[in-house]
Structure 1
Amino acid sequence: MAKRSFPLARVYTLLEPGPVVLVTTAGRDGPDVMAMSWHTMLEFEPPLVGCVISNRDYSYGRIKRSRECVLNIPTVELAAQVVGCGNTTGAEVDKFARFGLTAKPAKKVAAPLIAECYASLECRVADTRAVNRYGFFVLEVVQAWVDPAVKAPQTIHHRGKGRFMVAGDEIRLPSKMK
Structure 2
Amino acid sequence: MSDTTQVQNEWIEMVEQMNEAVSDSVEQNMKAQAAFVESWADAVEDSIPEDEELTEGIQGYNRAYEEWMDAAEQVLERSTDAAQGEEVDPTEFRDIWLQSANEAFKHVMGTSAFAAANGQLVEAMMEMRQEADDISQETVAQLGFPTRDDVVEVGERLVELERRQHEIEGKLDRILDELED
Q: Shorter-chain TM-score: which interval?
A: under 0.3
Give the TM-score, by structure 2 length: 0.20
| Greater fraction of residues in strand | 1
| Greater fraction of residues in helix | 2
Larger Rg computed on CA atoms: 2
Give the TM-score, by structure 1 length: 0.20
